[in-house]
Amino acid sequence: MPFPNIDPIALSIGPLAIRWYALAYLAGIGFAFFYGRVLIKQKPLWHQSTPPMTATQLTDFVFWAIIGVILGGRLAYVLFYSLLVGGDYYLNNPLSILAVWEGGMSFHGGLFGVALAAVFFARYLKQSPLSALDLMAAIAPIGLLLGRIANFINGELYGRVTTMPWGVVFPEGGPDPRHPSQLYEGLLEGLLCFIILRIATHNAMALRKPGLVAGLFAIIYALSRILVEFVREPDAHIGLLPYGLTMGMVLSIPVGLIGVALVINAARTKKGGRAI
């Protein structure tokens, strides 16, 4: 099917251009903030009825989260998508590492950056770091969904050539139809993950076992990303790694293993016990 003729610019006001990509991230942050406040106020959901932060403190954490996303995402991109695959651009132009506006961010790095920020913020508040990670995990999926939809609108990060009837001819992907892998990721990492975590938090009371929701999120994300990587077009400057792996797969494996470790640790937390 032809690529839908969607202008990446949602609104123009004089020289100011507002892109769907920016609106998607703003909407994702807005939803995460709103839903996070809702979860925080439902104290019976949490371990010992104690959320990892107050609604006001969540507002303060937004700054920490933004710094974590930018630093983690950028540094991981430079390391894994450039230096470790033989690229020397950033070695020859070290100041370009700071030029985030030129593009080049790693989701896995951003995820690690936010997680690290949440741990430090919880320690600062003398609250459970694992419960803080649970909060971040519970509010993240819809932002992932909206971000992947924005990737689709931009016609980027598309999949490999396919004969499936829903294949899309992307403007920058040549004449052949390709998997709309952005939408696959959005549905799996975003919508499906949100539904599963919502059931876990409100029906299985998973927030009472610190680290469980974060572990489930990590496992679902890792499995979803690895699955989609089989039909996603590899990065042009990297290609396929040995054994047919992609960089996305390689970076997702430790995320999944960390998720398994968090779930196992949470299963050992007794009701009313001490949270790490």
Q: What tokens does 176 get?
A: 């052949």
Total number of residues shown for the chain: 276
Please check if 74 is assigned to a binding site. Answer: no
Whether the Cβ atoms of residue 95 and residue 87 lie closer than 8 Å to each other: no
Within the chain, how many helices (H) and strands (E) appear?
10, 2
**Residues 135, 40: Cα–Cα separation, whole Å:** 8
Instruction: Identify the bridge partners of residue 169 per DSSP, sorted by sequence position.
Output: 2
Alpha-carbon distances of 62 from 51, 58, 114, rounded to whole Å: 16, 7, 10
> What torsion do the CA atoms of 212, 259, 136, 158 make, to the nearest 10 degrees?
-140
Residues at the annotated binding site? Answer: 148
